[in-house]
Amino acid sequence: MRFHEHMDLVQRRRRILLSLCLAPAVGGVRAADPYPSQPIKMFVGFSPGSATDVVARAIGDALGKRLGQPVVIDNRTGAGGSLAADVVAKAPPDGHTLLLASSSITINPAVYSKLAFDVARDLTPICLVARSPLIVVVHPKVPANSLAEFVNHAKSSPGKLNYGSSGLGGSSHMATELFAMDTGIQAAHIPYRGNSQALAALLAGDVDFLLDTVINAMPHIAAQKVRALALLSDKRSALVAQVPTLPELGYPRLSTSLFFGVLGPAGLPATVVERLNRELLVVLKDKDIEKRLVESGGLSLEGGSPEEFRKVIADDLSTWRRVAADAKVPTQ
């Protein structure tokens, strides 16, 4: 064989060997498609039009644009939001199945005897999105223009006042039990089927007081059909700036407002969690989102790291277990 033919053969063999060595690496890059590689489903445990649903749709649209894939909202109602959470807990941990949860995921373990998942073990916190302060409102027949007057009135007639809620074991029920325990008052609980029915009962004078969302109560406060006394929150609401918070009034433990946040299944890769958190923090700075949720929804936008959201969940789980035990809330 001539020399130049021999060299050509050697070079061809080298090229073949090089291509074989590179093939697995190239194949690996192609197999690992950039996240997200398909539309994302965001499950909501409450019906369309609910506060949780409104938050999900507001951030979902903007998040989808930033990720380059649509975020599709899937409403799976039932068991106080637990059905949707269970779907996400059992989903593949690839970041294409998410949950927009409310505080109900930390309340449910305290009031449901059997849940198919464990919040702390089976879900990955990604980002705290918003908080919704509850406001203490009373019917005008109640002789109290301030929280101090209300507490004194309630203590002078223990057990004679009553309050409405959205239902046994719901967020408004549990928050009112926490409020009653920390202020030292006693009141009878009258559960209704949803916040709207409880608010209607307050307006009719069938119940004496109620803890409701600011956005629901605000029109009736303005019309002087109910009287606002305090916010269950650590900061005032711009929508009712004149109403003080309970910590301001000497009740530091009553700062737990309801939350909304994004979670995924356990085992989500750190890179996916970081990407979602980063994009959500950008979304929460969007002025249109702020107007939609803060000005018209009465919410405060939050943010923060996944670790900070994990601590919020852990603290709330502890709080609601304590409330359920101390108030002897029956399990379902």
Q: Under DSSP, is residue 212 helix (H, G, I), strand (E, B) or coil?
A: strand
Structural domain ending residue among the three candidates 186, 212, 240: 240
Residue 161 falls inside a structural domain? yes
Residue 28 falls inside a structural domain? no
The structure's pTM equals 0.85
What pLDDT sits at residue 241? 92
- Per the model's pLDDT, the better-predicted residue between 331 and 15 turns out to be 331
Residue 247 falls inside a structural domain? no
For residue range 196-240, what is the model confidence (pLDDT) as tens digits? 899 999 999 999 999 999 989 999 999 999 999 999 999 999 899
User: How many structural domains are present in the chain?
Assistant: 2
CATH number at residue 144: 3.40.190.10
Same domain, 143 and 122: no
Cβ burial of 327 (10 Å; 0-12, 13-18, 19+) is: middle
Residue 25 falls inside a structural domain? no
Same domain, 149 and 120: no
Residue 6 falls inside a structural domain? no
Same domain, 271 and 315: yes
Copy the structure tokens of residue 182: 């920390």
Same domain, 95 and 230: no
Residue 4 falls inside a structural domain? no
Neighbours of 12 (CB within 10 A): 10
Structural domain ending residue among the three candidates 175, 208, 240: 240
Copy the structure tokens of residue 297: 């929804």
Same domain, 141 and 124: no
Same domain, 290 and 225: no
CATH number at residue 309: 3.40.190.150
Residue 81 falls inside a structural domain? yes
Given a cut of 90, whether residue 21 has pLDDT beyond it is no
What pLDDT sits at residue 15? 52
pLDDT band at 277; cut points 50, 70, 90 = very high
What pLDDT sits at residue 16? 44
Q: Phi/psi at 123 (nearest 5 deg)?
A: -130, 145
Given a cut of 80, whether residue 1 has pLDDT beyond it is no
Residue 85 falls inside a structural domain? yes
What pLDDT sits at residue 255? 87
What pLDDT sits at residue 331? 87
CA distance 213 to 2: 90
What pLDDT sits at residue 195? 85
What pLDDT sits at residue 264? 98
Q: What is the DSSP string of 243-262?
A: SPBTTTTT-TT----EEEEE
**Residue 45 contacts residue 61 (beta carbons within 8 Å):** no
- Boundaries of domain holding 170: 134-240
Q: Give residues with Cβ within 8 angstroms of 215, minimum separation 6.
A: 239, 296, 297, 298
Structural domain ending residue among the three candidates 240, 275, 301: 240
Same domain, 287 and 144: no
Same domain, 199 and 180: yes
Question: What sign for the dihedral angle of Cα 284, 214, 222, 167?
Answer: positive
B/e letters for 222-257, b = 16+ CB within 10 Å, e = fewer, are eeeebbbbbbbbbebbebbeebbbbbbbebeebbbb
For residue range 232-271, what is the model confidence (pLDDT) as tens digits? 999 999 899 999 999 999 999 898 899 999 999 999 999 9
Same domain, 225 and 292: no
Same domain, 145 and 193: yes
Same domain, 266 and 122: yes
pLDDT band at 10; cut points 50, 70, 90 = very low
Same domain, 139 and 235: yes
Q: Are strands 40-44 and 97-102 parallel, antiparallel or unpaired?
A: parallel
